[in-house]
Amino acid sequence: MPQPHRIETLLTLPLAGRFITAREISARIGRPAATFYRWEANGHFPKRVYLNKRAVAWRGDEIQAWINERAGER
């Protein structure tokens, strides 16, 4: 049985072309998931995608664009 991805491994993968979990986003931006769920509700963060009734993720391209936009503001 393959081992689940370690967060350190996920952080080195490019975001483009894949779905990103809340755990990975939290690790990348240094904020708890509750924060970006609130940002999403206020229209300041990309919308999540429902993969099934209980699983959500975000499009990596949208998250990368959001991160790049924030980096440009500095």
**Digits of tens for pLDDT over the chain (74 positions)?**
445 566 666 677 888 899 999 999 999 999 999 999 999 999 999 999 999 999 999 999 999 999 999 887 76
pLDDT of residue 1: 42
In 2-66, DSSP assigns E strands to 19-20, 49-50, 56-59
pTM of the predicted structure, to 2 decimals: 0.81
Helix, strand, or coil (residue 60): helix
pLDDT of residue 3: 54
CA distances from 50 to 29, 31, 57, 73 (A): 21, 21, 7, 30
| Domains of the chain by start residue, with CATH | 7-72 (1.10.1660)
pLDDT of residue 48: 97
pLDDT of residue 74: 65
pLDDT of residue 32: 96
Helix, strand, or coil (residue 6): coil
CA separation for the pair 51, 14 (Å, rounded): 20
